[in-house]
């Protein structure tokens, strides 16, 4: 999908595409950085605010 987005963007003259990536999601990070060659410029903690799902809930992070 991202390769198709890149193709579309190049066809319309875009020079840059920006995505967000949750570093706690290992498979997503691996795909973005290792497979697609993404580069991280910034890391913004709690970008989406507190999330109470199983992965991101504060009690899960503190033990």
- pLDDT tens digits, residue range 14-52? 988 777 777 677 888 888 888 888 888 888 887 778 877
Cβ contact 54:60 at 8 Å: yes
Spell 51-63 as b/e; 16+ CB within 10 A means b.
eeeeebeeeeeee
Residue 23 structural domain: 2-62
pTM above 0.75, yes or no: no
Total number of domains constituting the chain: 1
Closest to 16 in 3D by CA, of 41, 48, 34: 41
């Amino acid at each position: 999908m991202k390769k198709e987005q890149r193709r579309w963007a190049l066809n319309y003259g875009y020079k840059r595409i920006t995505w967000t990536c949750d570093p706690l999601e290992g498979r997503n990070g691996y795909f973005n950085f290792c497979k697609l060659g993404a580069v991280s410029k910034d890391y913004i903690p709690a970008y989406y605010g507190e999330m109470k799902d199983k992965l991101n809930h504060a009690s899960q992070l503190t033990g």
